[in-house]
Amino acid sequence: MRVLAVDPGLTRCGVGVVDGLPGRRARLVEVAVVRTPVDAPLAERLLAVSEALELAVARHRPDAVAVERVFSRHDVSTVMGTAQASGVALLAAARAGVPVGLHTPSEVKAAVTGSGRAGKAQVTAMVTRILGLDEAPRPADAADALALALCHLWRGAPAGGA
């Protein structure tokens, strides 16, 4: 099974592609971070994220797309950008006819580290170890996307997903 996972964001949007099956070693296919300029108009930033995600879906032909479920934060502007990028990811998957699973950050952390309260460094370390990488994926958005892909591989789409 191939999972393309998206850690949504407007400035940095993590994209990870992993092959694997439950109970088998997962394999890294690709990891990338889509970046957009902070000072660019919102519509242009969303277009850039959309084009990159649609290209990734077309190139990798995933069996599923996993997207981090947007959760409430204190900074409304951050949550709005994350939600908008998440919507673009959902749209890219829907256009390609690929099923989507939404996973909360704590669910992803628990799947990869065993603790839903793990920090970014612990998640990155476990992703590096699980995938047998020579070096940790950087920035954290890249590691988060890979953790999300692993979570989806191991747990599947949550009930009531997208």
Domains, the chain, in order of start with CATH, read 2-155 (3.30.420.10)
> Please, which residues have CB within 8 angstroms of residue 82's CB and are 6 or more apart in sequence?
8, 9, 10, 70
> Please, which residues have CB within 8 angstroms of residue 160's CB and are 6 or more apart in sequence?
none
Give the model's pLDDT for residue 144.
98
Of the candidates 77, 103, 75, the one whose C-alpha atom is nearest the C-alpha of residue 89 is 103
> Please, which residues have CB within 8 angstroms of residue 45's CB and are 6 or more apart in sequence?
10, 36, 37
Please list the rounded mean pLDDT of every run of 10 residues in the chain (162 residues).
97 97 91 97 98 98 96 74 95 98 96 95 97 96 98 79 52
* Residues belonging to the chain: 162
Give the model's pLDDT for residue 49.
98
First-to-last CA distance in the chain? 19
Q: Which residues are known catalytic residues?
A: 7, 68, 141
The reported pTM is 0.94
Q: Read off the tokens for 16.
A: 């990870």
